[in-house]
């Protein structure tokens, strides 16, 4: 199989999970902006996600966020998704939007609050059982704002204790994905601030615990691809939350701020053997001023383009230049792949998959935007709960 044929075959197997919350209303700390046609129920979110998969062909799963997506019957919700050609993916917990969590959740100094937080995480595992979801994704807003506010080491002990209880509840084939974030909303210490802290906890928990890399959760200038390479080498990269940032956790469309960084990350994924179902490629974005479904389609396309370029790197030539100490030659091999216009290749891939070569144009012609704007009138629009 030629290099081009191998790249096309790999691209046809790609899967990018879209987040249910990206279809709902979102905004800044100051304002949540409403849009026409926004879903009012988890089912309507799945309807929109099904359109993204219909036109891209590579977005077969939808992540849920609890309690934002709470329903009475999760098995029925899973069946609803499958009837529309998608499946339910990761179950995301929420331990940051309750008044009790003002001083933290799983790391809170009050045992009663910690118990409440852990019980919620256990509820999320129950939901995984009902939906058939593989991944429990955990992100904690826990931390402190002032020196001396709480015992830093004790908070790590509480974190480890709570994670261990939830880990013990996981069933066969289920995983815990632990996310980290440099700062926000805590400003002095964050209890899971970096990949090293997340990795240390996962290592102690066991093989079902993996690290999630959110591309917006690092200090400026951080070499994210190094983190990806290291976690892949250690067998602990569970997945990505893809988005873009200029300053902090901006949650912009993936590849919008620095497409070269996304390419570098995807190259390390391909080179490190991470282009498999064991590494979950998820979007985690908030579309505040742009139309939501087109933005999600565009994001999926951005991931596809970065992946295609990564697959086209001449790894034999690159290895030869590296062995020879040819600094400029090695860099040129990477840059040749990055500078390749892969859009014609992806058009071919989509046509061979029976899809329209231009997913955004196909969506616009479908009339879905006009349909939902006309039909989704009344009721409570879904949002991120802020």
pLDDT exceeds cutoff 90 at 383: no
Tell me the average pLDDT of the chain.
Answer: 96
| H/E element, 179 | strand 175-179
Confidence of residue 385 (pLDDT cuts 50, 70, 90): low
* Residue whose tokens read 């995480």: 121
Helix (H) or strand (E) holding 178: strand 175-179
pLDDT of residue 2: 84
Q: What global pTM score does this model have?
A: 0.96
Q: What is the pLDDT of residues 27-42, one digit of tens each?
A: 887 888 899 999 999 9
Q: What is the per-residue pLDDT across 248-264, written as a single tens digit (0 to 9) for each?
A: 999 999 999 999 999 99
At the topology level, CATH places domain 3-375 in TIM Barrel (3.20.20)
Please tell me the predicted confidence (pLDDT) of residue 30: 85
Could you report the per-residue pLDDT of 142-175, keeping only the tens digit for each? 999 999 999 999 999 999 999 999 999 999 999 9
Strand, coil or helix: 48: helix
Residues 61/15, Cβ–Cβ less than 8 Å: yes
Question: Residue 57: its pLDDT value, please?
Answer: 98
Mean pLDDT of 324-332: 98
pLDDT band of residue 194 (cuts 50, 70, 90) is very high
CB-count exposure of residue 39 (10 Å: 0-12, 13-18, 19+): buried
Mean per-residue pLDDT for 219-227?
97
Burial 359-386 (b: 16+ CB within 10 A, else e): bbebbbeeebbeebeeebeeeebbbbee
Confidence of residue 230 (pLDDT cuts 50, 70, 90): very high
Q: Please give the span between the terminal C-alpha atoms of the chain, in angstroms, as a whole number.
A: 51
Per-residue pLDDT tens over the stretch 263-282? 999 999 999 999 999 999 99
Question: What are the C-alpha distances in Å from 278 to residues 1, 145, 310?
Answer: 24, 36, 19
């Amino acid at each position: 199989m030629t290099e081009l044929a191998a790249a096309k075959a790999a691209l046809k197997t790609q899967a990018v999970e879209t987040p249910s919350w990206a279809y709902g209303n979102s905004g800044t700390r100051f304002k949540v902006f409403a849009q026409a046609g926004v879903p009012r129920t988890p089912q309507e979110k799945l309807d929109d996600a099904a359109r993204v998969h219909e036109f891209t062909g590579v977005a077969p799963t939808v992540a849920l966020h609890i309690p934002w997506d709470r329903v009475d019957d999760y098995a029925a919700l899973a069946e609803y998704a499958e009837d529309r050609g998608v499946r339910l993916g990761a179950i995301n917990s929420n331990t940051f939007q309750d008044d009790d969590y003002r001083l933290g959740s799983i790391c809170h100094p009050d045992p009663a609050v910690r118990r409440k937080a852990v019980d919620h995480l256990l509820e999320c595992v129950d939901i995984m059982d009902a939906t058939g979801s593989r991944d429990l994704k955990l992100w904690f807003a826990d931390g402190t704002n002032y020196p001396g506010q709480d015992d830093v080491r004790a908070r790590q002990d509480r974190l480890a204790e709570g994670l261990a209880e939830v880990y013990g509840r996981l069933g066969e084939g289920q995983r815990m994905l632990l996310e980290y974030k440099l700062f926000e909303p805590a400003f002095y210490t964050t209890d899971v601030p970096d990949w090293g802290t997340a990795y240390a906890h996962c290592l102690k928990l066991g093989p079902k615990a993996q690290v999630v890399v959110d591309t917006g959760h690092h200090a400026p200038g951080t070499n994210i691809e190094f983190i990806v390479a290291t976690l892949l080498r250690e067998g602990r990269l569970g997945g990505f939350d893809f988005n873009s940032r200029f300053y902090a956790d901006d949650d912009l469309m993936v590849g919008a701020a620095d497409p070269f960084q996304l390419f570098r990350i995807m190259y390390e994924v391909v080179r490190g053997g991470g282009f498999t179902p064991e590494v979950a490629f998820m979007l985690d974005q908030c579309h505040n001023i742009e139309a939501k479904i087109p933005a999600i389609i565009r994001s999926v396309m951005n991931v596809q383009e970065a992946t295609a370029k990564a697959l086209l790197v001449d790894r034999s030539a690159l290895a030869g230049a590296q062995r020879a100490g040819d600094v400029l030659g090695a860099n040129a091999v990477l840059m040749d792949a990055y500078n390749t216009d892969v859009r014609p290749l992806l058009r071919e891939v989509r046509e061979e998959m029976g899809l329209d070569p231009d997913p955004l144009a196909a969506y616009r012609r479908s009339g879905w935007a006009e349909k939902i704007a006309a039909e989704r009138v009344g009721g409570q629009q879904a949002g991120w709960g802020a």
